[in-house]
Copies of this chain bind each other. A is one copy, B any other.
Amino acid sequence: MNSAVDLPLGAAELTFEASGDALVRRSVLPSGVRVLTERVPGSRSATIGFWIAVGSRDEHPASAGLPATYGSTHFLEHLLFKGTRTRTALDIAVSFDAVGGEHNALTAKEYTCYYAKVQDKDLPMAVEVLADMLTSSLLDPVEFENERGVILEELSMAGDDPADVANERFFEAVLGDHPLGRPIGGDADTIRAATRDGVWQHYLANYRPRDLVVTVAGAVDHDRVVDALGSALVAGGWDLDTPAAPVDRRATVPALLGGTGRLTVVERPNEQVNLLLGVPGMLATDDRRATLSMLNAIFGSGMSSRLFQQVRERRGLAYAVYSFAPGYSDAGLFGMYAGCAPAKAPAVAALMRAELERVATDGVTDEELVRAAGQLGGASALALEDSDTRMSRLGRAELTLGEFADLDEALRRIALVTVDDVRVLAADLASRPFSLVAVGATDEAAFRGVVDEAPPSTDVA
């Protein structure tokens, strides 16, 4: 069966089959809480995610006497592990450690996700503990100060990783003042300035039934999860009876981005230059997502890709080289990465841009198209063996896409992509203003020719 199922925000109950005999069920509770499960026959474990529809893009500057909330989403994610009305931080840690479960959280630009992977027998525990963290965290002031130190160390660790630094600066370079351009975790200044009260307000404002999506994949019984979740949320003080519409993050109006690229060089005495070059890309919901996946596979994913062959195999200029194409609700990026010797960095940047322009003018071959379809299909089939991937796919379907496409449907869409589609999309991307970030022992002058910057403004004295 090829199935793409719409997920209207108001629908109460949906049940449908996904490929591989999996059964997907979705409930929208009156309060706006959404629950999606994917039961995979034969599975002995499950991955569960609690998604809150708030990310770093939703933070705001100080206004009307209220403090800025930059960094608060990630700070709050940390604090939810630090104790509730009935559980200490150690209790929470012990719950998952004692059963060998994986348990963590991540803050992203458009959501925050708390997740766990456990054996089937431990799923009720995971529902209860995660619900407790979401509804009943204390944000204890002493724990708050300890965790400030932990987060500052996390930022320092990222600050010492040149690839991380390049990545943060790249979003800023390509997306400019758009909220998606900001770093996810804030910075040391915003974390030092954060107050317990400010983060508490952020918690109250964003952790509500209408913001919550719970997804589970693997060995799961939908009705039991809905019951257990409802009980746990109510026990945590949430009102599940008052009707509310789920938060809608499925915007499809493209953001207006600036018309010029930016060049950012972070000078460091490193052995390599970490290079990122790219342009504004496609929304998560763009009709051309299948074409974009094919382009990305052919251009920069895998050892047979254009970038790998041209930069690494033929010339030995880099060890790591690839492209990537993340999509968000109202913006996206198309980027290329390489780590290379400082003396070679300008040539590598020019080569990467030229390769994209070559696809834009000369297109790709039928052979590459067939290979990319096989690559995406095979990789997806392997990835779906893991309940983590299925859990994440459900969350993305609900929060971002508004539809669930199973593997067969995804493959059908990929099979429809033509060489001409790929060329036209590459031409569209290559016509957009290129930005570049370089972290390492280099300087701006080296990259002027590769970036579509606005000419420097001349100040009139």
Contacts and interface: CB of A to CB of B under 8 A. Distances in A.
Interface of A: 42, 44-45, 81-82, 89-90, 92-94, 96-103, 117-119, 122, 145-154, 156-157, 159-162, 269-272, 302-305, 308-309, 312-320, 339-341, 370-371, 374-382, 385-386
A118 B42 CA distance: 20
8 contacts: A42-B42, A89-B313, A90-B304, A96-B302, A103-B303, A118-B378, A160-B272, A269-B269
A290 to B, nearest CB: 15
B101 A271 contact: no
Nearest to A94: B304
A193 B136 CA distance: 62
Most buried by B among A81, A100, A376: A100
A415 to B, nearest CB: 14
A293 B119 CA distance: 21
A236 to B, nearest CB: 21
A157 B89 CA distance: 37
A247 to B, nearest CB: 30
A119 to B, nearest CB: 6
Contacts of A92: 303
A47 to B, nearest CB: 10
Instruction: State the oligomeric state as a number of copies.
Output: 2
B97 A304 contact: yes
B90 A309 contact: yes
A339 to B, nearest CB: 5
B90 A150 contact: no
Contacts of A319: 150-151, 153-154, 157
Contacts of A269: 269
Contacts of A386: 386
Given A302-B93, A304-B94, A378 B122 contact: yes
Contacts of A381: 44-45, 100, 119
Contacts of A45: 381-382, 385
Contact of A312 (B122, B150, B380): B150
A377 B90 contact: no
A99 B377 CA distance: 7
Nearest to A100: B378
Given A93-B304, A93-B313, A100-B374, 15 more contacts: A81-B303, A90-B304, A99-B374, A100-B381, A101-B382, A102-B382, A145-B316, A146-B314, A146-B316, A147-B316, A149-B317, A150-B316, A156-B341, A160-B272, A161-B161
Contacts of A103: 303
Contacts of A380: 100
Contacts of A308: 93
A100 B382 CA distance: 8
Contacts of A156: 271-272, 339, 341
Contacts of A377: 100
A93 B122 CA distance: 41
A371 B97 CA distance: 7
Nearest to A92: B303
A160 B163 CA distance: 10
Nearest to A315: B146
Nearest to A117: B382
B317 A378 contact: no
Contacts of A302: 93, 96-97
Contacts of A100: 374-382
Given A159-B271, A380-B100, A317 B385 contact: no
A5 B183 CA distance: 52
User: When A and B form their complex, which 7 residue pairs have the shortest distance between CB atoms, in order from nearest?
Assistant: A100-B378, A149-B316, A93-B303, A100-B379, A146-B316, A156-B271, A93-B304
Nearest to A89: B313
A378 B271 contact: no
A153 B151 CA distance: 31
Contacts of A309: 90, 93
A42 B122 CA distance: 23
A375 B206 CA distance: 33
